[in-house]
Structure 1
Amino acid sequence: MRRILFTAAIALAALPSVAMAHPKLLSSTPAANATVAKPTRLTLTFSEKLLAPTSGVDLTMTGMPGMANHAPMPIKGFKTAVEGDGKTLAVTLPRALPAGSYDLNWHVVSADQHKITGKYSFSVK
């Protein structure tokens, strides 16, 4: 019995394995914690190809100059698309973002079918 189990373990170890890594955010424009001038496009580049229909972002304005008690305001009307080699998620805004602080929450799915999420902040001057 031990010999059968040992042989089975060796056989399984010899099979080619499938890498099931999750996508990782490699870079973004604007970068996390950056201050930029009125962007009309945001990009997020990941370590793996993304599934376009299940990947996207939520963008929220969290502060506005001169308004100390500015309530978080979701930004709507933008388009997202997976571009290039399938690893870049691009967000095209209908107009430049006004001065303020923003939170960008992203969610992506790659070939392993696991949803991965993340968040970063940036400011517009």
Structure 2
Amino acid sequence: MTGPPNKRQKREEYKKAQVDFKASANGPGGGKIELPKKKFYRQRAHANPFSDHALTYPASPGDLNWTTHYPAFAKNQDGDGAASVMTQEVEVADIGCGFGGLLVALAPLFPETLMLGLFFLNPTYILPN
């Protein structure tokens, strides 16, 4: 015995019904097209960038080449330009910083501290220039 249809199946049935309804709306006795129903669509708060993309990321913080992110604090180790080391370490990391309000507030309090803000989501709106 089968249970009730799952959401994907309901959504497909709904889409097929809308296509059939639009086709009949063009003929005599056509009806009004309804807006999409929320129950047929799954909303997600965020997407995990590591599962949605093929990003290469270091196994540990020690494996990360920080000199690409902070070139002003990079110092060539042997003078040939190949290997670089950081002259100062990143001490504060704000994960999910949004527009960076906390980092902007902390910057005057800790002027000699390197800070990093990470925000993974695409903005759902566009700011005016």
Q: By percentage of residues, which structure has more helix?
A: 2
RCO higher in 1 or 2 (8 Å CA, sep ≥ 6)?
1
Structure-1-length-normalised TM-score: 0.25
Q: By percentage of residues, which structure has more strand?
A: 1
Structure-2-length-normalised TM-score: 0.25
- For the pair shown, which has the larger CA radius of gyration, 1 or 2? 2
